[in-house]
Structure 1
Amino acid sequence: MRDHDSATVSFLDSGSGGATLAGLGVLTFSFSFPATAWALDGGHGLGPWTVTGVRGVLAALLALACLRRGRVPVPERRHWRGLLAVALGCVVGFPLLTTLALQTSTSAHSAVVIGVLPLATAAVSAALGRTRLSPWFWGAAGVGALVVAVFALRQNHGRPTAADLCLFGALLVCAVGYAEGGRLARELPGWQVIAWGVVAALPVTALTAAVALAVEPVGLTAHALTGIGYLAAVSQFGGFVLWYRGMAVIGVPRASQLQLAQPLLTLLWSVLLLGERLPASALVAAVLVLGCIATTQRFGRRAPEPGKALGVSVGGPAVPHGGQSD
């Protein structure tokens, strides 16, 4: 190996390199809602079901190429249940529900509502793993959920809209997918979890794409093509590779802190890329949610039982400290 190649590998395996990779993962995810809005292109681009199916199919093709090149064996049968949860939650459910919501909701509004996803992920992880979390966590999580609920109702004159119901449904299914992905990442390299997840979802996404392309209008505008390309290559696969690798190097708590910036970044891109008007209430709600998440990071976790690792992250998919890298 050449000297500069060795230096690159050493940097990526260092704390600074791991933080850089995790930060790049957060940055890539922050563009997902604007990219979805571009794919829809205000009704002139692709339909919501087409977006969900096509992004999943393209991501699966990329994942299959990576798995084949790495000669990765098929996961053991005991991993299949978790991979199915990742597939249904992160590859099918979350993309579909958020895309349906973005037909009528703004990217900025959706970013604030989805901002409590780290809290939802931690809560689901605790429930599935029967992990005891301190009253500080549940108090901060409750306040965060209340902030988002008040924000959504205030934006819609006191009544939840169909878009809000889709966003809350997306929160739930994605939290389950993230929690199961975190559990699997204790045993499999993180990039393989999302790779096998998109592959497991391929029968559903391929059928969805085939039916949707036949019944939904297809507008191949520049925005639509750019948006779907980004969603497939980056949001659905490549961003997870960066995120998991960075998290494996620097650990769950530090990587989770980096993801606190994601809703705020999405608000910025919504204004710069989509020309959306940012109401003051959106920025205030996003900052309050960020504070709630930071509180859970600082005070929310109780010490694990001897010999057990919680593996619970309130910032995204979790891997244990010193977990496997890709």
Structure 2
Amino acid sequence: MAFQVSLVLLAFAANSLLCRWALDVHQFDPAVFSLVRLLSGALTLTVLMLLTRQRSAAAPAPAMQSIKYRLQQKRFWLLGAGLGTYVLGFSWAYTQLDTGVGAFILFATVQLAMQVASFIQGGRLTRLQWSGVVISLLGLAGLLLPGGSAPAPLAAALMFIAALGWTAFVLMAKASGKALEDVQQAFVAASLLVIPLFPWLLDEWLHWSPMPWLLALLSGSVASGLGYFLWYRILPALGVHRAAQLQLLVPVIAVMMGVVILAETLAVQALFAMVVIIAGVMLSTFVKKRA
């Protein structure tokens, strides 16, 4: 389980890095990035699902019958709406917000929304665990907010909505009996919801070098598609509270990846904040509840 969690967190951090690389460094269009990300994720997961079914002894259902059945399912569109809201809202807000401020709004909102959901579902934390939650959020603020400018209200609202979309997508994993199928459906449904943007993006397709396209493809097929599939597989065993806390490690890993890959500098204050985040996550995640 620890190895799988580590892979998921690395994939999430890689997504943050790839997005920053494409949108900030190459000034890639956020709508194009989102569409390529969703389509490449849908294609990768569809191929993986077909290969898995070929190895299965059970005969697959006819293609048209399967497609018609899915389009009629409420869960199919809910998965797509949650994922699509996150991907679109994140990409658009990212270009309008200071990177640290945007990431803080995203991760703090997800953390609080998932803790509320856990509480509603019957999860109860000890005072020590709540202390860990608060400590990790303070560390997150110390890592992401210094030097950031006040966010534009619309961009902040978009990032907040994106966080709620991601929260809804993650919470639906608890009822997932087939992780690969659910995540594949989420990417396909989200792609169908976003494809109407295509006509407005035709003029944008030839304005960039191949590099940002490659970054978007990697983000969609590997960091998002395969990363989210693995996340859906392990989340029911983790539980909502632990999943929410572990996600706060993503900014820490993303900062370290930025230092190694993009040659970004790491201030002493940022290093201290990362230690605080890790301490808070460990305190809240690994402390056992009293019987």
Whether these two folds match at TM > 0.5 is: yes
Q: Which residue of 1 aligns with 2:47?
A: 65
Any conservation in 2 of the 1:152–1:164 contact (CA below 8 Å)? no
Residue 238 of structure 2 corresponds to which residue in structure 1? 252
Instruction: Please give the alpha-carbon distance, in whole angstroms, between the structure 2 residues aligned to 1:287 and 1:83.
Output: 40
Matching residue within 198, 208, 211 for 1:223: 211
Residue identity matched to 1:289: I
Secondary structure of 2:23 counterpart: helix
Q: Number of residue pairs matched? A: 275
- Indicate the structure with greater helix content: 2
- 1:206 is matched with which residue: 187, 195, 199? 195
Could you tell me which residue of structure 2 aligns to residue 32 of structure 1? 15
Distance 1:201 1:136, change over 3 A: same
Any idea what SS the aligned residue of 1:31 has? helix
Q: How does 1:161-176 map to 2 (within 5 A)?
A: 161=152, 164-176=156-168
Q: Is the 8 A contact 2:45 2:226 kept in 1?
A: no
Cα offsets for 1:109-161 (capped at 9, x unmatched): 6556545477336314315524444444444434544554566554335x334
Q: CA deviation at 1:213?
A: 1.7
CA–CA distance in structure 1, aligned partners of residues 74 and 120 of structure 2: 13
Q: Quick check: 2:101–2:145 contact (8 Å CA) kept in 1? A: no
5+ unaligned residues in a row in structure 1: which ranges? 1-17, 304-326
1:262 match:
250
- Distance in 2 of aligned mates of 1:104 and 1:277: 23
- CA distances 1:29-58 after superposition (whole Å, capped 9, x unpaired): 22111111233253x453111111221122
Given that 1:118 and 1:293 are in contact with CA atoms closer than 8 Å, whether structure 2 keeps it comes out as: no
**1:289 partnered with 2:277:** yes
Paired letter, 1:60: A
For residues 31-180 of structure 1, the aligned pairs below 5 Å read 31-40=14-23, 42=25, 44-69=26-51, 70=53, 71=60, 80-89=73-82, 91-105=83-97, 114-116=106-108, 119-120=111-112, 122-127=114-119, 129-149=121-141, 154-156=146-148, 159-161=150-152, 164-180=156-172
Judging changes above 3 Å, is the alpha-carbon distance between structure 1 residues 86 and 291 closer, same or farther for their aligned structure 2 residues? Answer: farther
Taking structure 1 as the reference length, what is the TM-score of the superposition?
0.67
| CA–CA distance in structure 1, aligned partners of residues 186 and 257 of structure 2 | 28
**Paired letter, 1:203:** L
Q: 1:199 to 1:155 in 2, by over 3 A?
A: same
CA spacing shift, 1:260–1:300, aligned 2, 3 Å = farther
What amino acid is aligned across from residue 274 of structure 2 in structure 1?
A
In 1, Cα distance between equivalents of 2:86 and 2:274? 20
Q: CA deviation at 1:259?
A: 5.8
Which deviates more from structure 2 when the two are superposed, residues 148-157 or residues 232-241?
148-157
Find the residue that maps to 1:156 and give its secondary structure: coil
- 1:53·1:207 contact (CA, 8 Å) conserved in 2? no
> Does the 8 Å CA contact 2:110/2:164 hold for their aligned counterparts?
no
SS at match of 2:265: coil
Output the CA distance in 1 between the equivalents of 2:36 and 2:192: 12
The more displaced of 268-277 and 105-114 is 105-114
Give 1:306's aligned residue: none
CA distance in 2, matches of 1:154, 1:75: 50
1:284 deviation in Å? 3.2
What is the deviation of 1:224? 0.2
Please give the per-residue CA displacement for 1:154-206, whole angstroms capped at 9, x wherever unaligned.
4335x33455554444333212221122x222xx1222221111122222122
Distance 1:258 1:207, change over 3 A: same
Cα separation, 2, equivalents of 1:238 and 1:155:
34
TM-score if structure 2 supplies the norm length? Answer: 0.74
Q: Judge conservation of contact 1:101–1:164 (CA < 8 Å) in 2.
A: yes
Answer whether contact 1:21 1:245 (CA < 8 A) is retained.
no
Structure 2 unaligned spans of 5+: 54-59
In structure 2, the partner of 1:193 is 182
Give the superposition deviation at 1:290.
Answer: 2.8
Q: Identity of counterpart residues, as a percentage?
A: 21
- 1:309 is matched with none
